Structure formats: structure tokens, C-alpha cells
């Protein structure tokens, strides 16, 4: 039964790693694009938030399932 906690930890950890790398890359492109064309900065920022939400989708599904495992399945 203790292995469930390890499983949930792996789920959350790997998901977090993927999300952080993805959003970090996006943020870098945002800053670079805003530096090249400052007049497009608000539009790029809106697109950045959209992309960040999309990238976060699978890791957050993983976090939801992991929390379900910890609190409902493992008592």
C-alpha cells in the first residue's frame, strides 16, 4: 500500500518537471519576441498565457489523479 505514495510522487514530480520546462521555454520566447517588437507585447503576452494553460493541462491532470490516489485510494 505504501507504493501508492511513491507512484503519486512520481506522477507529480515528472509532471511538474515537464510543465516547468515547457512554460520556461515559452516565457523565453515571449521575452525575446517582446524585445524585438515591443508594440506586439500585449498580444504576445495573451498568447503566452494561452500556451501556458495548454502546456499545464496534462501535468495538472496528473496532479489531480495523484491527489485522488493519495486521499481516496490509500485511505
Q: Residue 28 and residue 70: Cα distance in Å, rounded?
A: 35
Q: Among 61, 69, 73, 74, indicate the residue that binds another protein (CB under 8 A).
A: 61
Catalytic residue list contains 66: no
Binding flags for another protein, 1-40, as an x/- string (CB under 8 A): ----------------------------------------
Is 48 a binder of another protein (CB under 8 A)?
A: no
Q: How many residues bind another protein (CB under 8 A)?
A: 17
Q: Residue 63 and residue 57: Cα distance in Å, rounded?
A: 10
Q: Residue 52 and residue 74: Cα distance in Å, rounded?
A: 32
Q: Residue 67 and residue 50: Cα distance in Å, rounded?
A: 25
Catalytic residues: 56
Amino acid at each position: 500500500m505504501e507504493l501508492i505514495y511513491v507512484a503519486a510522487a512520481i506522477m507529480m514530480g515528472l509532471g511538474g518537471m515537464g510543465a516547468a520546462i515547457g512554460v520556461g521555454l515559452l516565457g523565453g520566447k515571449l521575452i525575446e519576441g517582446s524585445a524585438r517588437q515591443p508594440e506586439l507585447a500585449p498580444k504576445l503576452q495573451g498568447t503566452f498565457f494561452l500556451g501556458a494553460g495548454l502546456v499545464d493541462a496534462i501535468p495538472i491532470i496528473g496532479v489531480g489523479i495523484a491527489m485522488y490516489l493519495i486521499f481516496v485510494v490509500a485511505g
